[in-house]
Amino acid sequence: MDIGTLTIVGVGLIGGSIGLAAKRRGVARRILGVERHPSCVAYALAKGAIDESSCNLTAAVLRAEVTVFCTPVDEIAQQVLAAASVCPADNLFIDTGSTKALITRTIESAAPTARFVGGHPLAGSEKQGVEHAEADLFENKLTIVTRTASTAPDALEQATRFWQLLGSSVRVMSPEEHDAALAFTSHLPHLLASALAGILPAPLNDLTASGFRDTTRIAAGDPGLWTAIFSHNRAAVLDALAVLSGRLECLRDCLSTSDWATLHDLLLQAKKVRDALGS
């Protein structure tokens, strides 16, 4: 894959890291960044994450063979549709949103011939902004690439190759499978971390140690971005939350009835799951 011009829409942590990785690995000859915040643009240019910036989405995508959208999940579909309406039919559009089903449905119903392939690199963090971007962010990480009945096989192959060239491994699944899985592995954890941080009585701030900080770390994520994610994946998150509530109910019953043998078994089963994930 040799991309003449790669356009990155939204040059933050993920977009900036794509720019740096694409540069270091020679994936694209020229990188164009579409970003409305002047300070991000200046930083991205200085850091070398992009070669050139633009405020004009359609002009910037017209110059590219491949455009990757790294904007909040509630902006991606409209941006892809705007791009698809002006670009040649063979342009490839990739996104990096944390939800996939609604974005994909919206794009496919309005622009059925657009070469769009959804993606989600599992490489984020509670940090944001191009100042945290890293050229090796995707190395040894997994990117989920989504396929539907409408996805063109060569577009899927091109998108898969793109992520692999950035250092990531790739798993292909449907947008709905992605959203159901991420409800458990990312969205529910965010909700829980937020709940736990949110109820901490202020006088206890000094009595938190590394355990509390680990458990609540992702609650520092951007509330706007996360509200959009929850709105997109509402049903799957509610399902995951119901499963969690059932488990919390079991744990509460153990405490209420002093059933320490069952509590021990539940803690042990969870420890085995956690141990298997590594540090």
Within residues 116-145, the interface with a second copy by CB under 8 A covers 122-126, 141-142, 144
The strand pairing partners of 120, in sequence order, are 144
Number of shown-chain residues binding a second copy (CB under 8 A): 86
List residues bridging with 32 in a β-sheet: 7, 52
* CB 240 within 8 Å of CB 183: yes
Q: What does the block give as tokens for 22? A: 């694409």
Residues between 190 and 209 that touch a second copy (CB under 8 A): 190-202, 204-209
Residue placing its CB nearer to a second copy in the complex, 115 or 190: 190
Residue window 57-96: x/- pattern of binding to a second copy, with contact defined by CB under 8 A: ----------------------------------------
Q: Which is nearer to a second copy, 36 or 271 (CB)?
A: 271
- DSSP class of residue 71 equals S
Q: Which stretch binds a second copy (CB under 8 A): 1-9, 38-46, 145-153, 264-272?
A: 264-272
Measured between alpha carbons, how far is 106 from 251 in angstroms, rounded to an integer? 41
Q: How far is the CB of 122 from a second copy (least distance, A)?
A: 4
Site for a second copy in 212-241 (CB under 8 A): 212-224, 226-227, 230-231, 234, 237-238, 240-241
Span 140-179, contacts to a second copy by CB under 8 A? 141-142, 144, 171
CA distance 239 to 188: 10
Q: How many C-beta atoms surround the C-beta of residue 233 within 10 A?
A: 26
Closest CA to 93 of 58, 124, 47, 123: 58
